[in-house]
Every structure is written in structure tokens, then in C-alpha cells.
Structure 1
Amino acid sequence: MMSLDISADNGTMTIGEKLGQISWSLIFLITLVASIGFAMLYSAANGNIDPWASRQMMRFGVGLAMMIVIALVDIRVWMKLSYPLYGIVLVLLIGVDLFGNVGKGAQRWIDLGFVQLQPSEMMKVTLVMVLARYFHGATLEDTGRIPFLFVPLALVVAPVGLVLAQPNLGTSLMLILASGSMFFLSGVRLWKFGLVIGAVLIAVPLSWQFLLHDYQRDRVETFLDPDSDPLGTGYHITQSKIAFGSGGLTGKGFLQGTQSHLNFLPEKQTDFIFTMLAEEFGLVGGLVFLFLYCLLLLYGFVIASRCRHQYGRLLVLGLTVNLFLYLFINVAMIMGLIPVVGVPLPLISYGGTATLAVMVGFGLILSAHVHRDVRMSRRGLGDL
């Protein structure tokens, strides 16, 4: 599956040697999963490559090239750039709140002239990078000191607050959960998590009353009782469950899904694309797809275990947890297990910034794999 034994410091390898060390089997698996997405977008357009499948393939091609380039860059360079990249994306988030474009009731995009960018998607990557950089070389004694955690907490609170202001509850939730995993992986003791969870539970009534928007409260109430308004706030999840269940064991067949092709299923090209897959390919098709996704997660854990430096391990584990959160939240959402929060299914759902952000994340994972044996000092960058 993966060739992982290198005895020399592979930061000194040539481009050709680095290309040889890239996990091409992982790239094949990424392409396979993305191809399933192309097929579902083709089906969502009733057997037409436009408007979704063609654009998604183009974006994936650009993302694939970016991923390979990122993989060839020394991991110590990405470590050095962690703070600057985080700062740039944070500034873009501030720009969204000040000048961003409004779509579907939320202000989440910023127009850069040549592209409309959703900085909150890029923050999912750069936040993991900056936390991995901060915790690189940290000992259990360091993470046991509460003042040591003030800086990473500030690094998390700033983007979460800006994303909540858009408003974007789903992405805020992902940022919090991914950051929490980074704190845990860095050795922060469980009792500290208990304090935070306790504070959150105390704040829930206030958040419900003063922070959540009306549509967000409607989503929670619909989750608790989806049949209370089946033609209004409960329409999305009701139609999703109907489509999901109607696929049966083997599905209705490619391009034969009635709920999606008769336009009962909303947002079939984005948030609810897995529902369409389950309707057309059934339980078997859904399980095969989830198996392929689990292989992607397994690759991440294996690569992290082979990194000799803490930055690479934390970076890969954080990005892998991020990918898991995408999958878990999206699938749980469309099955009615959690409220609808608008989280896409990476490599499958139609989307520009989200697709590129996921590909950048995979590029960093591959970079950590190629440069898994480079030498890094406890706080510095080693010999670069």
C-alpha cells in the first residue's frame, strides 16, 4: 500500500526522489472517491455533465495539481508558514464580515475579482496548521500549565467568533471539534475539557435566547420533531429520509432516483448528495462508499504514526479528524441524527473552496509522508 522506510533525512531528496516517495495509492483512492462525486453530480443534473460535474472536475484537476506541489514542499516550510497563513485567512474572515457577499441568508463569501472565496473552509486547514505549530515540541508539563493554553485558545476563539457572525453554525462546530481534538492529541488533560464542557452547558440557555438566529432554532426544533412542519422547516429532512429509505438494499439504479430527479430532494448537489447516492445505489452502495472513505481516514492515521516529528503527527491527525468530521456531520445530518447544519461531503458535494481546501489538506498530509524523517528541533525548524 505505502512504502514508508527511509533511513536518510529526506528533506535533502531531489524532486524525482520525492515524487517516488509520494503515496500514489492514496492519490488513486482520492481520485476514485472524487469520481463517485462526478457521477452523482452528473446524475443530479439528470444525466448532464453541466452545470455541476464539469465544473467540479475542473476544480478537482486544479486541486490535484496543487496537492502534488504542496506534497513536494518540505514540511518544515509549511511549519514556518503556519502562523502567516493563519493570519492571512483570519484577515479574509474579517473581510467577509465587513464586505462579504450574501448568499442564502448568510454572508460567507468574499469576491477577490478572479474567484469567490469562502475563507471559513480554508480556516479548517490553517487552524490545524497553527495549532500543530504551537504544540510542536510541547511536553506534558507544558500542556499541564493553564497559561500555556491561553494562546491556542485565542487562536481558536477568534475564527470561531468570526464564522458564527456570518452566521455559519456548521463550520463553527467543525472548527471547535477539530481544535478540541488537537488539544487532546497534544496531551491536554481531560479535566480541562470537563471545565470547558461544563461552561458550554451553562451557556446553552443564553446562546439559545440571544446568539442563535431564528432559522437555527427552527432547525433544532425540527430535529427534535421533524413531523411538526413537514412542508416547512421539516421539508428537507423529511424528503431526505424518504429518499434514503426508498433505495432499499441495492437502490433504484443510476439516474433512476425518483425523489432527486423529480426535485423533491432539496440541495441534491451539495448537502444531500449522499442521500441521492443511497437512493440510487441502496444500502450496499452507501456502505461501499463509506468503506472507501474509511480507507482515506486509515491512510491518515498510518501516515501520522510514521512521522518522526511532532508537527507532522499533529498536522496529519488534525486534518484526518477534520475529514472525519465532514463525513460524520454530513451523513448524520441527512439521516436525521443531528440538526441540519449545512456541512458538505468533501470530494462528493459540489463546491469550489471546500474542494480546494480538502485537496490542500491532502497535500499537507502527503508532504508529512514524504518528509516524515526530517529533523526538527523541539521549538525550531531544524536544518532547512
Structure 2
Amino acid sequence: TPANPEAFKVAHDRALATIMNEANITAPRKGPLSVYGTNVLMNIDNGIGALPTRNSQLAAFGEHAELISGEYVVEHILVNDPTCHACPVACKKEVEVKDGPFQVHMESVEYESAWAFGAHCDNSDICAVAYLINLCNDFGMDTIEMGNCLATYMEVCQRGWNGTESLAWGDTQKMVEMVRMTARREGVGNVLAEGVARIAAYYGHPEVGMHVRGQSIPAYDPRGLKGMGLGYATSNRGACHLRGYSPASELGLIGLKTDPLAWKGKGELLKLLQDLHAFSDSLDLCKFSAFAEGAEEYLMQYAAMVGVDGLTADDVLLIGERIYNLERYYNQLAGEQPGSDTLPTRFLEEPSTVPGSEGHVCELPQMLEEYYGVRGWENGVVPQAKLQALGIL
């Protein structure tokens, strides 16, 4: 029960109004997130050269991206628009494949999952994508990580580094088999079950493991979305798009718009988003609320729920900053060393060859210098003075 029910009703109504505003991508039955689900991003990221493909050897899937996109799902295999309890957006896209080898009825083909088993593995069969996602759901396996594991092993096979069972790009039947083998740790699945970092190291080529801190990259290529590269590198839990979702700004999905190919200013942007998301995540809110709501809306809900007065939007960001610094400090105590904020060398040294981001690499060193400056960190380490200023020590 909210400490202040009347104030919470006001806060709820304001939040709902922003989410349902036709100007936002969350607008029910009108906004692209509602109409096509999260997979609306497939064609968008592909079009700007920011869709990791073939284990990030490329930054776009070309014309094949359309075949695994949200638009394609809605046109060909959609059967229902379910929703989380009382949510007006209804971004889930329930699908059914009735014919062929990949018959399945499952809740939703989300963007990250469709990318992981699609473009990243050079697979444009949406039926196979849906089947693989559902298979992982049944096994309780993370789809982003599993798709990355397959893509890593596919590149290992492509380059002739494996001496065992081969896996070709886009071989959907073999992909299904490999997922089952991984879940049961059978054969080469015992290697794949260790995750991307260990797969790449096992075959003697850690450079083909697309991960940060052992966690696989999601569906955004840092050569086409520079801020996301900084976000991957500085996320306290490893490569993560949700800790500081810069594509909201770089793709123009929110009022604060930035150039996806510019690195300047991304340090300040990521700090702002990371702090804001640290606060909203603590409220257990859907991340998609951030496409419509901001610090003011979050503050109104929090203050009414717990019964506090006098807080401002700046306090929201300060609370988020304390959370983010505390996480980083925990990592330091656990043994993380300076220099851990990094990316796979592919993004730093191999320029994109696709339209939209052609010729670009991710200028991580420059962005890190800017980021550490606004964070008050020293080479990724939170100094004692910063911890004391935030009241952590």
C-alpha cells in the first residue's frame, strides 16, 4: 500500500499519460514498440550499420534483416498481442509456426533473441529463430548468451580452428542440435556451455569472443552506436545494453537526441543514463518506461510510495549515482583491476565495412577519458574521496 495513496494515484496517472502519448514509441497500438514489439529495432539497427552480424565480423545483415524483423513477424507468424499485467503497451508478439521442421507456439520473438539466433549466426529463417528461442526458454538458458556461443563457435569453425564437430553459418538444424548438446553438456556442447569467453580461449583465439567481463554483447554494434560501446565497457556486470541504454538517445527514441557516430559527449550521456536507470531499476519498473518517463515521473512514484517529501529530480540522479558507484566499488573489492573497462579488439581496430557506419571503429579510449572525468573515477577505479563524497564510506 502506498504511504500516500492520493499522491500515488496522481503519479500513476501522469506516468500512464506519458506512456500513452502518441508522440512516444510506447503509444498503445500506434507507437512502433506497441505495434511491432522490441524487434522493431532489427531493421533500424541494420539500416545504420549497427547490427552485429556473423559474430560481429560485419555490422549489418543486409536485405536478410527484414526476414527476421518485427515487421516480418507481424505479417507472417503473429497470432496474438499479449501484455504484462495491466500494461497498455502490449509489446509482446505471440507467434505460431504451423508447418515445416520448426513448428512452435511461443510467447514472443524479442529483438535481442531474434538477433542472437538470426543475424549473429547468419540465419534469416524466422521460423528457426522462434524455435531456438523457445528451446532455450524450455531449457532455462539465456538466448543472448546461447546465440553468442553458437556464433563464436561458428567463427572458430569458419577459420578452421576446431578439430571436432563443425557448425556452418546459418545451419539451422545443426544449431538446434548444438543448443540441446549445450544444455546437456554432450560432446562439443560441453565447451559451449562454458560461455563465449571460455569458448574462444579454449580454441586459442580469445579475440573472437565478443564479450566484456565474461558477458556476451547484445544486439548493437559499437562501430555504429558509439555510446553503446562505452555502455558495454563500463557496465558493472559486463556487456549490457540495459544499464545505460544509449540507443534511446542515439536512435532518436527520446527527446535527448545524439549522433550515433559521434563519440564526443557520450561520456556525459552514459553517466546520466546509467544513474537514471540505476534508480528506475531499483523501483522494479519495466525498462521501456524510460522511452516515455523521466526523473520527474520516477520521483513522483517513489515519493508517494515510500512517503518522502522534498526530493528533486537531481536527487533521483544522485541516488542512482550512489548505486552505480557502490556496484563499481564492490567489483574493486572483489578484485577487479584498473583497465577492465574495455571492448573486443574487433570493435576498436576493424572498421565497419557496411553502409551507415562504413569506415568507423569505436573510439573507446577517448570516450573513457571523458567518462572518467564526469564520473570522478581514476582509470575505472572509484577513489576514496568519491566514495566519501557520496556517503558510501
Structure holding more helix per residue: 1
- Taking structure 1 as the reference length, the TM-score comes to 0.25
- Taking structure 2 as the reference length, the TM-score comes to 0.24
